[in-house]
């Protein structure tokens, strides 16, 4: 309880502080370092690596049914990421930002040969590829990699693609995230993606946990986590750079921090629903 | 007048027909051929190649100021195309359609090295490119090519990028198109892009006209038109395929036809505004 009270106090302190600042119109522009600190503080406090379900997962306490439940439900999140990122692109009038952001959609959806040709040849006449130039074949994206994780856990493509295990709370949280990206100013929507700042550490711990505790999962199913180690670092660097540049008023800076808090709530809320549905399947082992 | 009356009759006939069909709930699913005919009929009647300004342009009747006015205003349309296409992506839950559609954004925005790596390597570890594989350099897109067309006409990047010549009527029409893509069901938004079916013929005529009548324009500025000859054919084939597949109820088919009609109205309305602003600059020569 003490812990909870302290959390509530911190939380309200920050909100009251903002509220006072806004009333007195004296909110100051944070320097770069302070802004980054404020963003990192959200992750320290609210990122879902601290959720009991995640802790149990990384400590090897989940039975196969619970892990499958997580994989199946998280697929709805994975499947909506490119839609969320396209919504951001569709609200962004800055071409340089769109050029920097679009690879996220390709990373998750995978690239068809048409997209590869456009990226590589971009507007040149459609000459046939010489041998040794870009492979004009479809390239696997994160969604496909997650489907393979599902297979490795014993979940069919149909179960994932048709959301057969999707919990209402997970759907609501993910839909809220997509809706946020559609309706918020694009720099704020980009700030909300900054949970990626905290992802590589969690991904490293998760990979180690899966390899140690869940050896019933075919290790080839873990490719998604491996690729995200690199991608999340690159992506969060990009997103942080854009946030620092375009959230350039005291109001936008504070809005960006709240956006990241919102995104932590999305991830946390997904785990709440999953924990409720599958938590009783945890093993008694520590 | 007779011509106008006939046009009005045709128009109302079609609307009344739809209206009656809906009331009687007997609208039938068109077969593929009929659906395509209905779409092509819209182009035959309402595509902007028949607008007096376009006719004057292709007959060599525009003075430099009028042509520059068209180039400057059309830039607003060009600059909004990737936003419109991202809005479609952001509403589309079908990964295969997103994979087919995303190259349009790359075609117009140009591709950064990040997008090229994502398209080609898609999730593989970020190994350096071997010589002879995809060039990891930024590739020019259609917006950049249109900026060069502007230069070739004597318009600075600043004049185009900051919309210094943008007419309200052009802004309203383009914004209506983007808003349509954001708010309509994605197969209907895709159908609205089918003006591309009629673009290659216009582009061929335009290229010939520019080379013959407007030799004061540096021919290197005409690359945009050249690339669109190929791109528009490929794009309209794709969009037609998606429209035929996903506009698969009598209601969606008729909505698709109306979407294409709406898009023709957008293009026509842009030329109305441009014609009003620059029409008096036409030469007297035929």
Q: Which residue has the higher pLDDT, B231 or A50?
A: A50
Nearest to B95 among A95, A109, A182 (CB): A109
Look at residue B281 in the predicted model and tell me its pLDDT. Answer: 57
Supply the mean pLDDT for chain B.
86
**Whole-model pTM?**
0.84
Q: Cβ contact (<8 Å) for A103 and B93? A: no
Residue B94, chain A, CB below 8 Å: the answer is no
Closest CA of chain B from A235, distance in Å = 10
Give the C-alpha distances (Å, rounded to integers) separating A136 from A113, A116, B121, B133, B253: 5, 6, 11, 11, 33
Residue B110, chain A, CB below 8 Å: the answer is yes
pLDDT at A212 over 50: yes
**Which residue from B minimizes the CA distance to A142?**
B123
Q: Which of the listed CATH numbers 3.30.565.10, 3.30.1600.10, 3.40.50.300, 1.20.910.10 matches domain B2-281?
A: 1.20.910.10
> B239: closest CA among B250, B230, B229, B247?
B247
Look at residue A282 in the predicted model and tell me its pLDDT. Answer: 56
Q: Cβ contact (<8 Å) for A118 and B111? A: yes
Percentage of residues in chain B having pLDDT higher than 70: 81
pLDDT in tens, B265-278: 999 999 999 999 99
List, in sequence order, every residue forming a beta bridge with B139; answer none if it has no partner: B111
Least confident of A31-45, A235-249, B217-231: B217-231
Q: Cβ contact (<8 Å) for B109 and A120? A: no
CB count within 10 Å of CB B195 equals 22
DSSP state of A139: B
User: What is residue B139's three-state secondary structure?
Assistant: strand
Percentage of residues in chain B having pLDDT higher than 90: 74
pLDDT in tens, A55-99: 999 999 999 999 999 999 999 999 999 999 999 999 999 999 999
pLDDT in tens, A93-147: 999 999 999 999 999 999 887 777 777 654 443 333 333 333 334 588 999 999 9
Residue A113, chain B, CB below 8 Å: the answer is no
Interface ipTM: 0.83
């Amino acid at each position: 309880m003490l812990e909870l009270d302290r959390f509530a106090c911190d939380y309200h302190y920050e909100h009251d502080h903002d509220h006072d600042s806004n009333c007195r119109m004296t909110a100051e522009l944070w320097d770069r370092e302070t802004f980054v600190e404020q963003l990192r503080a959200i992750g320290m406090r609210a990122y879902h690596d601290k959720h009991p379900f995640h802790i149990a997962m990384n400590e090897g306490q989940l039975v196969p049914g619970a892990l499958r439940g997580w994989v199946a439900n998280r697929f709805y999140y994975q499947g909506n990421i490119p839609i969320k990122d396209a919504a951001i692109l569709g609200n962004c009038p800055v071409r340089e930002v769109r050029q920097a952001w679009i690879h996220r959609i390709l990373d998750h959806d995978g690239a068809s040969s048409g997209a590869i040709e456009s990226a590589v040849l971009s507007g040149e006449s459609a000459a046939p590829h010489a041998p040794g130039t870009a492979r004009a074949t479809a390239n696997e994206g994160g969604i496909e990699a997650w489907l393979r994780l599902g297979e490795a856990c014993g979940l069919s493509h149909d179960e994932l693609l048709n959301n057969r295990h999707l919990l209402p709370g997970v759907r609501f949280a993910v839909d809220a995230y997509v809706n946020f990206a559609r309706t918020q100013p694009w720099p704020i929507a980009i700030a909300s993606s900054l949970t990626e700042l905290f992802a590589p550490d969690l991904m490293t711990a998760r990979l180690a946990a899966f390899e140690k505790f869940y050896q019933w999962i075919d290790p080839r199913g873990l490719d998604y986590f491996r690729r995200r180690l690199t991608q999340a670092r690159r992506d969060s660097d990009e997103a942080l750079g854009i946030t620092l540049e375009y959230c350039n008023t005291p109001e936008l800076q504070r809005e960006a921090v709240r956006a990241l808090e919102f995104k932590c709530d999305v991830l946390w809320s997904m785990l709440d629903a999953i924990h409720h549905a599958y938590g009783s399947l945890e093993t008694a082992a520590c």
